[in-house]
Amino acid sequence: MRKLFVKTENYKRFTSAVNAVEQRGAAEAGMLLVHGEPGFGKTQVVSRWAAEVGAVHLRANVDWTPRYFLVELHKALGIEAQGRAEEMFQSALKVITASNLPLVIDEAEFTLHNKAQVLEKVRDFSDRAEVTVILVGMERIQSSISKHKQISGRIAQVVEFKAAPLADVAQACELLSEVAIAPDLVSEVHRLSGGRMREVLNIIAAVERVAKLNGHERVGLEHVQGVPLSHDWRTRTPLTAKPGKGKGEGR
């Protein structure tokens, strides 16, 4: 599979929201919340953006405390973590302010423990440095954050990642697959994946294996009948292509 990045509809909506936050009127409203079900590409899209702009990218842990967060932040900034918590905050703030680095927190649910102490510390950086802060979490994180008015009032944009449309899946198949995938099979990839880009990538890899095994340069629906292309984790059963399916029909 080719190592390329597919600019999906979710990516376009995310970057549009980032631009809106960066052009905000109220300096303190510098947060962007990204949420959605697993597999819709949140981490991949945000990680790509963070790498492109040089953002500080952290993945929250279940046992994060404010000090633990500050230690991880110092590591990401490439500075030594030492002193009391307030001294660590000031040293990190100095670097972030001087470089105007955006801050990305993935698995942001873990910042909400103990009355959102860690997220309050993140808010402090947003307020003091006036940098863009992106919080990435699961579908329920918006309602959880709404309970903390001091934080939710800082969120200028919310982006919900949704299932990829057929056009996104077709683009992924064209750009990423090292073998040609026929339109009928593209539609089946869309159906089997449920629009989850993570599954789309797995299915493309499975199609490539079928092509390599059988010497196909172009793979259509007829070539993968009965071949497990994906896996339903809920029922623990393999998912196979079915004739006559496509055009985004339900699983």
Please write the tens of the pLDDT for every residue from 180-226. 999 999 999 999 999 999 999 999 999 999 999 999 999 999 999 88
Q: What is the pLDDT of residue 233?
A: 64
List pLDDT tens digits, range 77-123: 999 998 999 999 999 999 999 999 899 999 999 999 999 999 999 99
Q: What is the mean pLDDT of the chain?
A: 92
pLDDT grade for 247, boundaries at 50, 70 and 90: very low
Alpha helices, DSSP H, located in the chain? 9-22, 42-53, 66-77, 85-99, 113-129, 141-145, 149-152, 166-176, 183-193, 197-214
List of domains in the chain? 9-161 (3.40.50.300), 166-240 (1.10.8)
pTM exceeds cut of 0.85: yes
| Residue 249 scores a pLDDT above 70 | no
